[in-house]
Every structure is written in C-alpha cells, then in structure tokens.
Chains A and B, each alone.
Chain A
C-alpha cells in the first residue's frame, strides 16, 4: 500500500514537473497535450523500473566523506557566482586609512587550471633570457593562441607578435624567449622575442565546453646567463566561467572570464643601500586588433610597519618596469621601516604585475633576487582583444 502511495506521489510530481517544463508555449496550447498518452508512457516507464525512481535517485551511494565533500567553491559550472566564498574586501571599512573606495568584484583565484594567462615579465636582452613554460593540465589536445607584447615607444605603441602552440594531453612545453622554437610535427612555433615585454596566452578549444577552456598553466623564469640571477614566477591565470567558443575577444567581466583584480597588494623591501627592487606592471585592458595602446595612472597606497600611510602615483603605457628608487615613498629613509605593504590600483584600467625583490644578504652579502607575486583584491571588468 505504501508503495502504491509512493508511486502515486511520484506520478503526481512528474506530472507537475512536465507541466512546468513544457514552458510557456505549451501552457498556452495546453489543449494540444495528450495527457493520457503522457501518463501512460510514464506508467510504462515506472512499471519497468519496479521501484519508484525518486527513492532510487536519492539513494545514490555517497562517496567516502574524506574526498567527496561537496565544495561549492569555484567549481567550473557555468554560473559565475561563487556564493560560498567570503568575498575578500579588505579595504572597504578602512575608516579612511587607505584612500580607496570599496571593492565589490571578485579577484581571480590563482594557480588553478585556467583559460587565459598573463606573463607580465618576459626578457631577452643582453645576457638575460627567459624560459617560458606552458603545461596542458587536461587529458585532451589543446590549442593555445599567444601574443608577445612589448612597448615600442610612443610612435609604434604596443607591438605584438602572435603564434599558436598545440599541446598534447598533459604535455609540458618550454622554450627560451630569445631562441623561440619550431616543431613542424606538432604545428607549433614560437617566434624569438627581443626586449622586455609581456606574454598573453588564451586557450582556443575545439569544443565550447567549459572544461575544455580551463586547462592551461604557465611559468616563466628570467635568468642572467652570466651571474645566474634568476626571477621565476607563475603566470596570472583567469578561468573561463561559461561555455562558448573562443573568439579572440577575452571579456574579463566576471561572467565570461574571471575579472581582472581591482587592486594588487605587495609586501616589499624598502629601497635602501643594497636593496633596490623593481615594480613591473601591465594593463589588463588591451586592444591588439586596432593597436590601441592602453595608458593608465597607477595610484599607490603604502603602509609601513607602524601603520603609517603614504601615497604615490605613476603613469605608463603598455608596460612599466620601474625601480623602487624612482619612488621616494618606497625608500627606507622615507618609510622608516624595512618592509612595506603596497596597494596598487590602476585608474583607467585594472592592472596585473609583479615585484622583483632585489637585496643583499647571506654571510657573503651577495646579491639576491626573487619574484614577488601580488595578493589580489576585488575585481573589475576588462577586455583583451586579440587580432
């Protein structure tokens, strides 16, 4: 008896479901639906099932809790909302300490398989070269569309060199920026690069599935051939958030792709004798199709170890590589402490970038360098257009 009651409930639920799922058009022409036939078909289906489908569906065996815990976080579903995460808004209730408004977007989570990568610092100049590495984190072949971009001055603007890389499942791929690479078997070629610039790479999948987009990660190691001075960093990654075909227009709007970070936070060493770090910045917004260079003002808030706040600003186009000595507020004589917390915000365009720490240390007071990746706060829409 209980079983029949359960089946009746199931039938009623399915009938309601059918009514809703038929959509508005069906609701208007409801007279045309042959409900007898529908219910008969469902009855046949349920009879062949022997048991009501609903209990069977909910009784799906759950995996061991240790590994199958549902994490609502950043799963690759189509929806761009990450409701589970506590959105980081560090400076919102700042009581005026930092002269920045509230940040409402969501920063792109890092070190995950991504659809779009930015390497903000690639060098081939003099004895310095860069090893660029890409890895395919999926078990499918992928095609990657990449562009080196460098600042060629006020007349030429931002010059780009495009190329494509094809990666087999889980394949690592690396080359020296100064040499480039060419493999006719895989139709992969990276041209040689000269100067100082950035590299942007986007996944161009064969199918529009979301999982086919978020498959790429990368890393760059900038080294001096003569003295071994090395700066290695992970590319800044942006995940695709909805399925779709790659068009060359990368909308970092928080819906199609992750947003660009609204602010970059660095913990840096103050400039002083033996320590002169560099700040490398590139705009998120970039139109390589019409060769329209992006210029932006960068506002800086600097907090020393005593919680005293300083500010500074600069302007750049395409790419900025500046040593700390060019900012008086980053000198120890001004800051008063050895380290500082620097918060950067692009005004016309959000930014990505990094700091290269340079300091002396060790028993022999030798020179050291290392990459200093930013912490990200908030998000802001931006667009990158590839030719």
Chain B
C-alpha cells in the first residue's frame, strides 16, 4: 500500500507537468452554421459566370456584410444582404441582384473578373452576440460545354460572444482559426486530348480591405505519390491567384510523380491561405473532358486577421 500511495503521488505530479504543454491549433469545423463564410472562387468573365448561394440557417433575421475581392488589383467591393429566417438567396455574379422579388434590403453589385467573396454576420441590436453562427453558402462556376466547378464556402465559427467589430480576429479565441494545412488528392497532369490539367485556386486568409493592403505569401507544397515518395514545390500568391498545377512545378505531372494520383499538402508561409482545387481530367473509357471542384481536408489552424471598412 505504501508503494501504491507513492506511485499515485508521483503520477499526479507527472500529470500536472504534462498538462502544462501547449494546446494544439485546430482547423475550423466545416459544414456548420458560421459567422464568417469565405467563397474561395467567384468568376464572371468571358464564357463563365457564377451562381452565388447563401442561406440563413437560423430563425432570426440576419444582416450580412459581404466583400468581393477582385484579382489582380485586390480591391474590395462591399454590399449588404439581409436575410429573413431560414431564407435562401442566390444571384448570378455577373448580374448581381437589386432586391427584386421580395428581397428587401438586398443590393448585390455585379462582379466582373475573378476573385473571392467573404461575408460576415452583423448581430442586430437585440442580439447578445452569441448567435452569430448563422449562415452558410456555396458558389457554382459554370461555363460552356457543361463546365462546372462548385465549392462550399469555408465557414469560420464565432467562438466567444461579443460585439461586432470591423476587425475580425481569427485567432481560435474570438473566431475559429483559418486552416493551416490543406490536404488534397489530385490527379497528376498528363498530356492528352484534352489534357488532364488541374488548377489550384489560392487566396490569402489575412486581408486588410480598410487600408487596402494586399497580403502576399509564399505557399509551400508537399507532394506524396502512391508509393509514399515525397516531393516539394512552392509558389507565391498575392491576395488571389489561379494556377495550373503543372505550371507550378513539373512534379505534379504524371511523368515525374510516377503515379496517376497524389496527395498534396498546401501551406502558406507568411500567412494562412485559402485553397481549393479544380479537377480537370479525361474520363478513362470515353475520353470526355470532366471538371469538378475538389475541396480539401483540413489540418491544424493558424491565426489570421481580416479588416473591413
């Protein structure tokens, strides 16, 4: 019994020492009602348009402030959307909407070019600040020949209740953090008719639209083929960019990678990034061109700050 008591005591000391470790940063939970939603890809240019969808998942009215960010100038265009309880709303990016059809309090400007969209829930005067996790969204880019790429918005939950501020601290305390690592499975680039050429869409999580300071960051890639061989590559992104995988580095090509698919882990260096992939491949038996949005699995979290006017 004496020995047991001594062991228990030492165990308690060991536990106390162990608990003093640093907690791990975690990525934001997805597909849940959120306070901030980030559409990684909006496109309205020759041959392409985007249907932007947003839905209020609560039984309260919601006031939402949104910002388009257009590349490569990295300027913001803002607007407000007011959603009644459980209301869905959608618009074509190239046309916007002017609140017709009963959408009182909605005026979305047209958008041209490529970029991203971020939307923020503004709690009303009756809110105690705890019910800001309210919305979700999705954007579907479509073009000629059945071209379709669709992505759910990345949701950031408000974690602690509080007043609305135009500076959003995605620090894991006020809001959930931005994802740090993005894990994609990708199809290796390969010449053909048509080519198999997937594209990566990157934007920065940090954003200062109040002072119009564009964020730039190096993005590192860790690539693993099906034989567990590991490669690396990198690129740089200024607020938003869309790059063909094989142009980032030849390691994404089948010849170098050695296998038809691989896993790529994407991570921003100076700051967190938002990343999605557009799979473009040729069907194996029919040689038809196929396109699909490829949403990543997330690991770890990283703090970021967004400032809006």
Contact = CB atoms under 8 A, between A and B. Distances in A.
Interface of A: 14, 17-18, 20-23, 25-26, 29, 32-34, 37-38, 41, 53, 57-58, 60, 62-63, 65-75, 84-86, 88, 90-95, 97-98, 107, 109-113, 127, 129, 133, 135, 137, 168-174, 176, 217, 219, 221, 223-232, 234, 265, 267, 303-307, 309, 337-341, 343, 357, 361-364, 366-377
A72 B173 CA distance: 8
A25 B5 CA distance: 9
B192 interface: no
Interface stretch (B142-150, B211-219, B234-242, B247-255): B142-150
A221 B5 CA distance: 58
Contacts of A33: 1-2, 5
A171 B224 contact: yes
A308 to B, nearest CB: 10
A41 B5 CA distance: 13
Contact of B25 (A68, A84, A170): A68
A22 B8 contact: yes
Interface residues of B, number: 107
B8 A21 contact: yes
A79 to B, nearest CB: 13
Interface stretch (B49-57, B73-81, B110-118): B49-57
A10 B56 CA distance: 54
Given A97-B85, A172-B262, A267 B9 contact: no
B159 A73 contact: yes
Contacts of B16: 17, 57
A71 B6 contact: no
A127 B33 contact: no
Contact of A90 (B5, B13, B134, B228): B134
A20 B292 contact: no
B292 A366 contact: no
B143 A22 contact: no
Given A57-B17, A90-B59, A339 B53 contact: yes
B98 interface: no
11 contacts: A70-B22, A73-B176, A90-B86, A110-B31, A111-B30, A225-B284, A225-B285, A228-B286, A304-B88, A305-B103, A376-B32
A127 B285 contact: yes
A375 B185 contact: no
B150 A357 contact: yes
A236 to B, nearest CB: 9
A352 B30 CA distance: 15
A73 B26 contact: yes
A341 B57 CA distance: 9
B156 to A, nearest CB: 11
Contacts of A75: 23-24, 26
Given A88-B133, A133-B185, A307 B85 contact: yes
A9 to B, nearest CB: 15
Nearest to B286: A225
Contact of A70 (B12, B137, B172): B172
Given A14-B13, A225-B288, A375-B32, A62 B22 contact: yes
Given A88-B133, A98-B59, A267-B53, A65 B303 contact: yes
